[in-house]
Structure 1
């Protein structure tokens, strides 16, 4: 009888704990601190210019952060990672400084517009500059070159130069 009672008490506790984990996983962008390192390459994130990225993973409380949107995409587009991602965030470069992007300017990466092939340099090769609007991306591309792309047009093949 004691085992049955303990089991009946244990089930609601397990349910409450599992619900709390799901609810506590925020989709809000997290600040990037001076000593944060890129989840992909290990470089110090704030040491380099250009847009940064971060994402959420199912069942994880840590927020993988990236020194560039390019590194974020290289991680996020891998088939083994793609299905684990809950959200992606990138800087809106139309409202923040290229040299020191402000963490208050993070936007949803899936609705952002991108400029690829720009003369503006980021950390690891060609920048994948991110913008909240198509107009912002177009203005940037007019000034610094590059092609304006949607989130869906960013592929592993594009990043690999194929």
Structure 2
């Protein structure tokens, strides 16, 4: 008896979960879990630098079972935190600025998208705070336009690795001095 009731419930939950994922990707509404409310004194969880003081895409992470959102001065710093094995298990959500929909100099928090659904440009000449920028876009077309102007190569979410980020940092220095 219990199995007969339980299976349809699981099916409904699974279908709802899929439709929620699809609607989140195609929706232009801001992502609900992201409310940075960044003020000028908020610092990067990874490096401690001021978040709003620098240009380029930012990232935010929510951790399982915690209300606080971890904010990062760059999507690159967010990845450097998220890809550490001890941090991967705890991550609930990751969001990045869609740089096809916001200004480079001061990204708008309404332009956050799910990091796993974004495409990325790495190796671009566009300068962000932490060395080479990992530039997120919601569309491949916007990413290709960026590449046409600033160079770089297209990557999927799964292709962004610590190894890739370390190679990109070679010769470029870690921090830009201001």
1:49 partner SS: coil
Asked whether the equivalents of residues 27 and 87 of structure 1 are also in contact (C-alpha less than 8 Å), the reply is no
Gapped regions of structure 2 (runs ≥ 5)? 1-30, 169-178
* CA RMSD in angstroms, aligned pairs only: 1.3
Q: Is 1:55 aligned to 2:61, yes or no?
A: yes
| Pairing 1:161–2:167 present | yes
Q: Which residue of 2 aligns with 1:6?
A: none
Name the residue aligned to 2:7: none
1:74 counterpart (75, 80, 84): 80
Aligned residue number for residue 35 of structure 2: 30
Render the CA deviation track for 1:44-79: whole Å, top value 9, x for unaligned: 000000000001101111110000000000000000
What residue number does 2:121 align with? 115
Q: 1:33 deviation in Å?
A: 2.1
Q: Secondary structure at the match of 1:142?
A: helix
Stretches of structure 1 that go unaligned for 5 or more consecutive residues are: 1-25
TM-score normalised to the size of structure 1?
Answer: 0.82
Rg larger for? 1
Alignment check: 8 A CA contact 1:27 1:56 kept: no
Paired position in structure 2 for 1:88: 94
Which runs of 4 or more aligned residues in structure 1 lie more than 6 Å from their structure 2 counterparts after TM superposition?
none
In the alignment, the residues of structure 1 paired with residue 163 and residue 154 of structure 2 have an alpha-carbon distance, to the nearest angstrom, of 16
| Of 19, 35, 49, the match for 1:43 | 49
